[in-house]
Structure 1
Amino acid sequence: MVPTGIGVAHLPNQRHKIVAKRGANFTLMVCGESGCGKTTFVNTLFTTTIKDPRKVEHRHKTTSTSSRSSSNDRTVEIEITQAELEESMFKVKLTVIDTPGFGDYVNNYDSWSPIVDFVDDQHESYMRQEQQPSRNGIIDRRVHACLYFIRPTGHSLKPLDIEVMKRLGSRVNLIPVIAKADTLTPKDLAAFKQKIMDVIKAQDIRVYSCPIDSDDEGTTQCNRDIMAAMPFSVIGSTQIVRTPDGRDVPGRAYSWGVAEVENEQHCDFKKLRNLIIRSHMLDLISTTEETHYESYRQQQMAVRKFGEPKQAKGENRKHRDKEDLLRKNFTEQVKQEETRFRKWEQQLMAERDRLNKDLEEQHAAIKALEGELDSVYRGAMRR
């Protein structure tokens, strides 16, 4: 059979070979309150013990400073774990970023700053490396997907959740996740999902939305099913348990039965896994590159000269705190001077009153002496 065309149709095959040879870099961030099962979920997602304190390669320390009081300063460790996964001769260099202890304090004002600053710092680091003469070996830790874990309270999003999700949604592909879905009944879980989506819509929170339209009807329907499940309810467990019908599955065993991780009637774990790994990993990467990173780069280029370093937010915060302290000291000094002036004014008025009184007394004494002098003069004239 004689081949038709000039061979342009073979370009996708060439591209496939290049991508298969290079592999892929993927960075996943998980954040939320402690005790939501973030570590367990990551290990369940990749079917291996990736998140382990002994495997943490880097701890990024940052300070969260509240402008209300310097006593609210606290250090937050952002753990960075790297692993390499291989499946069917294709390698993925995975980076998992964990933010432990988020939202644990009574006063959580500005507690989201370490997470937001970290996302911005990765964009800044990549942009600075791109501006170097040699761009070989660029370290890319831009966050491609952020799973925000929500406690299964059954009520709605807390003000802290709303504030953090607003700030993250404009910087990264935000995916809301309901943790420990097996603690809610199916009816309560459905109502909880609807409440969360209503708040997300009302507060105009940007969450990741995968492309719906596709030439393949099956793919389009699959994408619609995935998006209809948001926020994703998940059950995390690396343990293998036996179901009443004799199947060995990852899940959690209770007195009333077994909650299966990969059972779509129990949770949305499979849909979330398909979204992150099987169907939309490339879209998450390209969206980060073309939307979030480009938005950050354009914002910085509009206010900075080429090659000019970005002023650290910590320095801005220090300057702001110093300015507040100077303003406070100036106000106190003004108040002290006003108090001192009022006291001096009162003393001056009291001294004026005393002098006026003395003057009146002296004037009265003079009048009396003048009267006596007149009497003496008249007496002398009669004689």
Structure 2
Amino acid sequence: MANPAPVSDGIGIANLPNQRHKIVAKHGAHFTLMVVGESGLGKTTLVNTLFATELSPPKNYARRHHKQLDKLTEVDIIKAELEEKQFKVKLTVIDTPGFGDYVNNRDSWSPIVDFIDDQHEAYMRQEQQPQRSEKIDLRVHACLYFIRPTGHTLKPLDIEIMKRLGTRVNLIPVVAKADTLTQNDLFTFKRRIREVIVAQGIRIYQPPVEPEDEGAVEHARMLADAMPFSIIGSTEDVRTLDGRTVKGREYLWGVAELRSLLIRTHMLDLISTTEELHYENYRQQQMETRKFGEPKVKKVDNPKFKEEEEQLRRRFTEQVKAEEARFRQWEQHLIAERDRLNKDLELAHIELDSLQAGYGRGSARR
């Protein structure tokens, strides 16, 4: 009778997660966050709260005495390197000052959408090069869209840009300064926003759910009920009920702790979703519409260029109308001059006929 085979400890597959952790910890991670919203909604404060550091100083809005009639949305890039327990994250924050702040907000989303597309384009062009070791990657992994707490519903400008952003980036809508609304008003406001998001077909970020993990399913349901997230930003240290110290504000219902929700739990999924979904969709679309290595055809859709084009068109139209009026006036003058000459010619013919008739009668008498 053969001896039973010795019990094996396996072939080592169970150790792969540890190996993966060491690789990720060694190289660190790149994370790019975009914040979009009107001025004064606490975007800078929230970013500083999330990453527990002053990435950007608070802005002084008191210097803005009036709103301009037309101004382009700007794109500011803030970079920082964070380290926690020997794990490094190269963080890039994309701010969009000027969005929605002016009387004429037509096409104010164009620089934001163009920036997202341009980062996909730049990364795709780098992938086509022979040397790909040092690629610059500014693809946006998450976009926090700040909604003003009006208590009513989304504005047309909100709907327009959220539709465009949702197909390009992991869109996370947030209600800014949620503490300015009562609990009942905030609940109603968030419900109306969710209804508009569904009715308008706006795509927002949905965290992954493992069906066999009951805890994950419950967590996903709680996130869905909380969307859009109510934001209360603060850079003050607050003591939680379980003894931890976090960045946030303390209220009767607890501490508004956002870092664990948006970063600690889902950062890697936001990165992989950007790579596997949004970037791949862009790459596939571009590959289907142009030849390999062919540069992207730039669309001249910058609102500044559109305005200049419209001004030139109006100026040209006015010049054409002025020339047409001058031509009609000149034509009328020619017609009047022709009529005068014809009348003079007719009088000359009558006078000539009269002279010829008088000459004929004189010759007959002789």
Q: State the TM-score, normalizing by the size of structure 1.
A: 0.78
Percent of residue pairs bearing the same amino acid type: 64
Query: 2-side partners of 1:314 and 1:372: how far apart?
Result: 81
Structure 2 unpaired stretches of 5+: 1-5, 59-68
Aligned counterpart, 1:163? 160
Aligned counterpart, 1:349? 335
Contact 2:72 2:98 in 1 (8 A): no
Query: 1-side partners of 2:213 and 2:246: how far apart?
Result: 32
Residue 306 of structure 1 pairs with residue 277 of structure 2: no
- Structure 1, 188-197 or 362-371: larger mean CA deviation: 362-371
* C-alpha displacement of 1:145: 0.4
Query: 2-side partners of 1:112 and 1:347: how far apart?
Result: 53
Residue 16 of structure 1 pairs with residue 21 of structure 2: yes
Residue 218 of structure 1 pairs with residue 215 of structure 2: yes
Residue 51 of structure 1 pairs with residue 37 of structure 2: no
1:179-237 CA-partner distances (Å, limit 9, x unpaired):
11100001111111122122222222221112245211111111111111111101111
Contact 1:251 1:259 in 2 (8 A): no
Residue 118 of structure 1 pairs with residue 115 of structure 2: yes
Query: 1-side partners of 2:24 and 2:247: how far apart?
Result: 32
Query: 2-side partners of 1:160 and 1:277: how far apart?
Result: 28
- Structure 1, 321-330 or 28-37: larger mean CA deviation: 321-330
Structure 1 unpaired stretches of 5+: 54-70, 253-257
Matches within 5 A, 1:1-80: 2-3=7-8, 6-52=11-57, 72=70, 74=72, 76-80=74-78
Contact 1:210 1:227 in 2 (8 A): no
1:143-178 CA-partner distances (Å, limit 9, x unpaired):
110101111111222222222212221211010000
1:306-355 CA-partner distances (Å, limit 9, x unpaired):
33444556798898778767756654554344334323321221122112
**Distance verdict in 2 for CA 1:75–1:184, change over 3 Å:** closer
* C-alpha displacement of 1:106: 1.6
Aligned counterpart, 2:264? 278
Residue 338 of structure 1 pairs with residue 324 of structure 2: yes
1:191 pairs with 188, 191, 194, which one?
A: 188
Aligned to 2:103, the other structure's residue is in SS state coil
1:130 pairs with 127, 130, 139, which one?
A: 127
Residue 263 of structure 1 pairs with residue 272 of structure 2: no
**Distance verdict in 2 for CA 1:72–1:312, change over 3 Å:** farther
* C-alpha displacement of 1:105: 1.7
Aligned to 1:277, the other structure's residue is in SS state helix
Query: 1-side partners of 2:239 and 2:210: how far apart?
Result: 40
1:90 pairs with 75, 87, 91, which one?
A: 87
RMSD across aligned positions (CA): 3.5
2:175 pairs with 158, 174, 178, which one?
A: 178
**Distance verdict in 2 for CA 1:73–1:32, change over 3 Å:** closer
Query: 2-side partners of 1:305 and 1:322: how far apart?
Result: 32
Amino acid at match of 2:40: G
Question: How many residue pairs were aligned?
Answer: 350
Whose relative contact order is higher, 1 or 2, with alpha carbons under 8 Å and at least 6 apart? 2
Query: 2-side partners of 1:247 and 1:25: how far apart?
Result: 27
- Structure 1, 113-122 or 189-198: larger mean CA deviation: 113-122
Amino acid at match of 1:259: Y
**Distance verdict in 2 for CA 1:16–1:240, change over 3 Å:** closer
Contact 2:73 2:111 in 1 (8 A): no
Query: 2-side partners of 1:319 and 1:185: how far apart?
Result: 44
**Distance verdict in 2 for CA 1:36–1:127, change over 3 Å:** same
Aligned counterpart, 1:65? none
Amino acid at match of 1:185: T
Contact 1:212 1:224 in 2 (8 A): no
1:279-329 CA-partner distances (Å, limit 9, x unpaired):
222211111001111122223323443334445567988987787677566
1:30-57 CA-partner distances (Å, limit 9, x unpaired):
121111111111222223333348xxxx
**Distance verdict in 2 for CA 1:218–1:146, change over 3 Å:** same
Query: 2-side partners of 1:188 and 1:145: how far apart?
Result: 27
Q: State the TM-score, normalizing by the size of structure 2.
A: 0.81
Amino acid at match of 1:32: G
Query: 1-side partners of 2:247 and 2:352: how far apart?
Result: 113
